[in-house]
Amino acid sequence: MVPKRRFGRQLVGQNIFSIHNRVELIKGGAGYFDRLEAMIDSAQHTLHLHTYIFDEDETGRKVAAALVRAVQRKVAVYLLVDGYASGSLSESFTNSLIKAGIHFAFFNRVFKSGHFYLGRRLHHKVVVADGTVCMVAGLNISNRYNDMGTVRAWLDWAFYAEGEVARQMHAVCARVWNRSPRRENCVITLKRTIPLLNDSCAIRIRRNDWLYKKTEITRCFRDLFRQSEKYVTVMTGYFWPPQRLLQQMDKASKRGVTIKLILTARADVPLSKYTERYLYGRLLRNNIEIYEYQDNILHGKIAVRDDAWITGGSYNMNNISAFASVELNLEVNNADLAITVNDQLQSIINNSCRRVVKEEYYATNNILKRFFYFLSYKMTHIIFFLFTFYFRQRNWNE
């Protein structure tokens, strides 16, 4: 029996699966932004859009125009963007959104927040319309994630969902908005009744927010490897996992589970790629397969296990997502979708990736280069510690 759902302080969908849902995997690029614009244009009552990066470029202006159209239809639009990653938005641009009637706020604006903490960023990318449809993605609002003429978008993914999970997502977004400073609260509970879908797809919302001691996605990834029996395939744009997660990967591989990692060959943050490559030696020694995506920058975050279980959203397999950023994923138990996801990832491996082989790795990376990777790994730890030191002290003293 599904437990009784409640709105308000207890956010639904975080510890239980909702059943009456329909879900679809969407590849990033034009397909995602077309769906996003269609969701905004179809909203009738309330729309939440949360994102890490909102750029004032062609893609950003097009999304902003759709939000303004929604407001003109009397839709209550709440736009929450990260104060660091979206800090370059011009005052004239943000003022135009506010003047149009959009409820706009920065999440923890750097040097302007009452609780300055650089490491805790709003990293999730969520849109929910009327509590009936939602998308959870790894994509930001920027030309980099869109197909611009002959320039292909960075590789990324989104889950589009209808049903109970969208109502739960509305409550999550409302609660996050209401915690943002100096902004009027929005209503968490939807007043009207939404009919249940006949479709059956088990989904639950998973969140990470270190400030409120939420580590649901990190635990979800540990379970991913702990419970695997046949295979695990993971795509992640930034790979630097906590030690406990690495240990679960090692144990799963030793049990005979086939583990495939799809990582980027070209990184937008070079230090992160050097850090990853320091870990290649350990992964290869434990028979974990590594594939580097060649076509463009890989930014997607998605994982599938045993033709049964999928997770995707904003969470990277790294310490930043595990211990600092505010993250949101969907966890889906559905065989049909799992098979679809695995087939698409395998197609990318076959057509767009180069496998990293142990002998080649050591032949092309001499001891000096591997030492450089080690220094990058340590430097990443130092930078991460410095940006999260204040926050860690605050938690220790609670």
- Provide block-wise average pLDDT over 10 residues at a time, the chain (398 residues): 37 66 94 97 96 97 98 96 92 96 86 57 95 96 95 95 94 89 71 68 93 90 95 96 94 97 94 94 96 96 96 95 93 95 97 95 91 93 77 44
Cα gap 70→68, rounded to integer Å: 5
Sign of CA pseudo-dihedral 238, 244, 248, 253: positive
Which pLDDT does position 398 carry in this prediction?
35
Nearest-angstrom CA–CA distance, 230 and 259:
9
* CATH 3.30.565.10 at 21-200, yes or no: no
Neighbouring CB atoms inside 10 A of 313's CB total 27
Residue type, 331: E
Rounded to whole angstroms, how far apart are CA atoms 48 and 126? 8
Contacts of 149 (CB under 8 A, 6+ apart): none
Structure tokens at 134: 């939602």
Amino acid code (one letter) for 340: T
User: What's the pLDDT at 3?
Assistant: 38
d(CA 72, CA 44): 11
Cα 67 from Cα 312, distance rounded (Å): 25
The label of the residue with tokens 């929450």 reads 80
Sign of CA dihedral 329, 340, 240, 285: positive
Local structure of residue 212 (DSSP, 8 states): G
pLDDT score recorded for residue 393? 45
Q: Cα separations (Å) of 239 from 9, 107, 252, 273, 290?
A: 34, 25, 18, 8, 11
Instruction: Report d(CA 105, CA 280) in Å as an integer.
Output: 41
Q: Beta 46-51 vs 327-333: how paired, if at all? A: unpaired
Indicate if the alpha-carbon torsion angle 76, 82, 86, 91 is positive or negative.
Answer: positive
Interhelix angle for 367-396 vs 270-285, to 10°? 100
Q: Say if CB 234 and CB 317 are below 8 A apart.
A: yes
Cα–Cα dist 170/207, whole Å: 14
Query: What is the separation of C-alpha 273 from the centre of its chain, rounded to a whole number of angstroms?
Result: 19
Beta partners for 79? 49, 104
Within 10 Å of residue 31's Cβ, how many Cβ atoms? Answer: 14
For the chain, the structural domain boundaries read: 21-200, 214-379
Both ends of the chain: CA-CA distance in Å?
37
Integer-rounded Cα radius of gyration of the chain: 21
Asked if domains 21-200 and 214-379 share a fold, the reply is yes
Could you tell me if residue 135 is left (phi over 0), alpha (psi between -120 and 50 degrees) or otherwise beta? beta
User: How far is Cα 354 from Cα 361, in angstroms, rounded to an integer?
Assistant: 12
Q: Are 114 and 182 in contact (CB under 8 A)?
A: no
Determine the CATH number of domain 214-379. 3.30.870.10
Contact assessment for residue 165 and residue 134, using Cβ atoms and an 8 Å cutoff:
yes
- pTM, two decimal places: 0.90
